[in-house]
């Protein structure tokens, strides 16, 4: 079995993420910078977790469903993918909060902040 899925990237060109079985072992490769060096990139995690938002081409939804159904049978992948995916969402949310507060604080520090708190 092999499933190749095109994933959205930070550029206009998609990354190809390949999932396959060889010698009774499951493998995953991505042609992004992190993936080339064997890293666990966001493309792999988000596709393994079934995130349709990561698909470059929505016509590959069936491939994604096939992948998710398959990896749901491998407890290690299922559990760890869910944990990592949820943690990534929390981090992204917290980063947005930080950026919002930094922007507000920067603006106020340029204008001046009243010392008496009013």
Give the tens place of pLDDT for each residue, 7-58.
999 888 999 999 999 888 999 999 999 999 989 999 999 999 999 999 999 9
Domain spans of the chain, in order of start: 2-111
Alpha helices per DSSP H over 1-117: 33-36, 42-48, 61-71, 75-111
CA distance 26 to 47: 15
Q: Is the dihedral of CA 97, 102, 103, 109 positive or negative?
A: positive
1 pLDDT higher than 90: no
Confidence of residue 85 (pLDDT cuts 50, 70, 90): confident
- Threshold 0.85, pTM exceeds: no
CA distance 111 to 9: 38
* Tens digits of residue pLDDT in 64-77: 999 999 998 898 99
């Amino acid at each position: 079995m092999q499933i190749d899925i095109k994933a959205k990237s930070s550029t206009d060109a998609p990354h190809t993420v390949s999932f396959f079985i060889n010698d009774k072992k499951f493998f995953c490769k991505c042609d992004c910078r992190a993936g080339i060096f064997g890293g666990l990139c966001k493309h792999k995690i988000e596709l393994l977790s079934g995130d349709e938002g990561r698909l470059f081409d929505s016509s590959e939804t069936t491939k994604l469903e096939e992948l998710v159904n398959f990896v749901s049978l491998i407890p290690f992948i299922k559990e760890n993918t869910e944990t990592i995916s949820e943690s990534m969402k929390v981090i992204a949310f917290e980063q947005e909060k930080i950026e919002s507060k930094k922007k507000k604080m920067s603006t106020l520090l340029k204008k001046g902040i009243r010392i008496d708190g009013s």
